[in-house]
Amino acid sequence: MKTTDIFDLRMNRSAPDLWPMLEALYGAHPDYGSFCEDLIEEMRKAWKARPSDLKELDLKRDLEPDWFQRPDMVGYVFYIDRFAGDLAGVLDKLDYLESLGVTYVHLMPCLKPRRGDSDGGYSVMDYRQVNPAYGSMSDLSRLAKALRARGMSLCVDMVLNHTAKEHEWARKAAKGDPAYQEYYLMFDDETLPKQYEQTLVEIFPDNAPGSFTHYPNLNKWVWTTFNEHQWDLNWANPQVFLDIAKIMLFLANKGVDVLRLDAVAFMWKRLGTRCQSEPEVHKILRALRAVTRVSAASVLHLEEAIVGPAEMLTYFGRGEHDGREGNLAYHNNLMVQYWSALATRDTRLMTHVLKTHFPEHLTNATYATYIRCHDDIGWAITDEDAAAIGVTGHGHRGFLSDFYEGSFPGTFARGALFQFNEETGDKRISGAFASLAGLEQAKEAGDTEGIEAAVNRMLLGNALIASFGGVPLIYMGDEIAMTNDYRYMSVPEHAHDSRWLHRPHMDWDMALAADPESPEGRVLAGTRYIFQRRKLVPAIHGRHPTRVIEAPNPAVFAFMRLAPTGTLLCLFNFTEEWQDVPVDWMRMRGVENFHDQLSDGPVSSENGTFTLPPYGRVWLV
């Protein structure tokens, strides 16, 4: 079979995901016809240019479409410079990653950013070049190959909501080129911006208030949802779609396996709305996925939308888009509920939210499960959900902020506020996993019980994300329980952004030679072990439904993984006390074998009661 025939077959397969979407988005545009022709042409070119080893990979993944849902998937996320200096340095760290069980590597933004503050690399001025401080595009390809040789895949950020104002397109727009002014959202006076702002939510109210920036020399107001230097792209312009699609295919052909599509919720603007998760966003994302599915079929899309429960699910495609949009999306609600249940020592809200809003099964997709990442934690808990368990949304969100900032009396956590929004009362939180889980405070106080609890809270979290269903992501340094790094305050371009509190430089002495008795050494060994076990438990496969159930004890969070080969019952004790679970209840949930798949040891019961230790976690078949 000729490879052009393969292209045509793939085009036929994805046509329903591509043309109706584009027609709806851009059909009325005067250049629609030539846009479609250009797009096909670009897709064909990218397919022709695709290296043969990647074409082989496309075929392999066509045959194994569940590859990213398998229990052997374990992700690791890091900043290249803080982890290994540069891309060449990363090559030297692959043994370490392999020893952790990692099969998926997410490099934090690695494309050429603007100079100075670049929002951690999310202000990109050239998508076709690697950040020169990290190396070159061929270093990236080399890394992709080296990873593939070890059975690891590579995830890279693709920022598609905005570019740096120093990007070539933005520079042309600033010079007055009308075609490039159409790439952004620019206004001649403040009338429309003011109207939009009535319903917009500010993202960085502290240091980048408002959603527009006025440039007196251009005499324009430019849409800047995030920072002043990040100009929002105008996705109503088909040329933007075409240019971004070309870049995605370019990166795919360099060997990138997963494109992390940044801040996707914000891509479409509509007056009178929050301009988040508008229906057009899903049409764009479905069409973009079709583009890579045709020309670089093995590539997955991870969609970053840090939003409330109902809204989040739409990124897997709901209704007509079901199974046709993101392959992966962050389960930020699982993360938020982990922190909420730890603080309250009560899993009722967690159970309610995860049971009510999330389906047991996703089509062609799975979650990216995580406890910490490079961003702040926003308390995405709705008033309705809070009310369902008898608390107020405002009160509970405020409590969580105080608790994790470290100001609530008796808290174990130490963190920092991020972007207090006085208008909405919304307070987000920064902080390292270990510090938020209590290790920093306990170590300082020499509190051995506190240290023990913190270690177990961390392992509880890692066991949770390893079994819930999805690709568990470990964030750089969390596997060795690195605590808050306060040095960012003296770095001028970071001092305004407390997220740098949890973006440490990797402690390699600790990673390679931690004392196994130390808290750091225990978290490392425990995390490694959790992933070893995950790989051996087939019921953890992402294709098997996850049924969240109410445990007979509100201290315990429970779900079942419904595999045809047998149900896995996973239990997590969110308190520092011993907690009882009746054996009969467990039997009725299908547990026959009282052997814990996580510790690979028997669980014992007494008088019909099984007792989970403080922060205990078990996976029972």
**In the complex, least distance from residue 556 CB atom to ligand GLC, rounded to whole angstroms:** 30
Q: Which of 304, 346, 405, 440 is catalytic?
A: 304
State how far the Cα of 353 lies from the Cα of 382, in Å rounded to an integer: 9
Q: Kindly write out the interface string for residues 92-121 of this chain, putting x where it contacts ligand GLC by CB under 6 A and - elsewhere.
A: ---------------------------xx-
Among 97, 245, 306, 354, binds ligand GLC (CB under 6 A): 306
Stretch that binds ligand GLC, among 79-87, 245-253, 368-376, 536-544 (CB under 6 A): 368-376
Verify binding: residue 375, ligand GLC, rule CB under 6 A.
Answer: yes
Q: Which of 262, 346, 426, 497 is catalytic?
A: 262
Burial 350-368 (b: 16+ CB within 10 A, else e): bbbbbeebbeeebebbbbb
Please give the residues from 477 up to 496 whose contact with ligand GLC meets the rule CB under 6 A.
none
Verify binding: residue 376, ligand GLC, rule CB under 6 A.
Answer: yes
Verify binding: residue 429, ligand GLC, rule CB under 6 A.
Answer: no
204 three-state secondary structure = coil
Q: Is 304 labeled as catalytic in the residue annotation?
A: yes
262 three-state secondary structure = strand
Contact 295, 302 (CB under 8 A): no
| Number of residues binding to ligand GLC, judged by CB under 6 A | 14
Among 113, 309, 378, 438, binds ligand GLC (CB under 6 A): 378
- Which residue, 378 or 438, is less far from ligand GLC as judged by CB? 378
Stretch that binds ligand GLC, among 126-134, 215-223, 318-326, 374-382 (CB under 6 A): 374-382
Q: Is 262 labeled as catalytic in the residue annotation?
A: yes
Verify binding: residue 58, ligand GLC, rule CB under 6 A.
Answer: no
125 three-state secondary structure = strand
Look up residue 219 and give its DSSP letter.
Answer: T
- Which residue, 262 or 385, is less far from ligand GLC as judged by CB? 262
Look up residue 408 and give its DSSP letter.
Answer: S
Q: How far is CA 539 from the centre of its chain?
A: 23
Verify binding: residue 262, ligand GLC, rule CB under 6 A.
Answer: yes
Q: What is the DSSP string of 326-350?
A: -SEEE-HHHHHHHHHHHHHT--HHH
State how far the Cα of 374 lies from the Cα of 409, in Å rounded to an integer: 27
Q: What is the 3-state secondary structure (H, E, C) of 562-604?
A: EECCEEEEEEEECCCCCEEEEHHHHHHCCCCCCEECCCCEECC
Verify binding: residue 68, ligand GLC, rule CB under 6 A.
Answer: no
**In the complex, least distance from residue 262 CB atom to ligand GLC, rounded to whole angstroms:** 5
Q: Kindly write out the interface string for residues 186-215 of this chain, putting x where it contacts ligand GLC by CB under 6 A and - elsewhere.
A: -----------------x------------
Contact 353, 382 (CB under 8 A): no
Verify binding: residue 159, ligand GLC, rule CB under 6 A.
Answer: yes
State how far the Cα of 332 lies from the Cα of 160, in Å rounded to an integer: 20
- Which residue, 7 or 268, is less far from ligand GLC as judged by CB? 268
Distances (CA, A) of 450 to 189, 443, 534: 57, 8, 28
Applying CB under 6 A, which residues contact ligand GLC?
A: 119-120, 122, 159, 203, 226, 262-263, 304, 306, 374-376, 378
Would you please indicate which residues are annotated as catalytic (active-site) residues? Answer: 262, 304
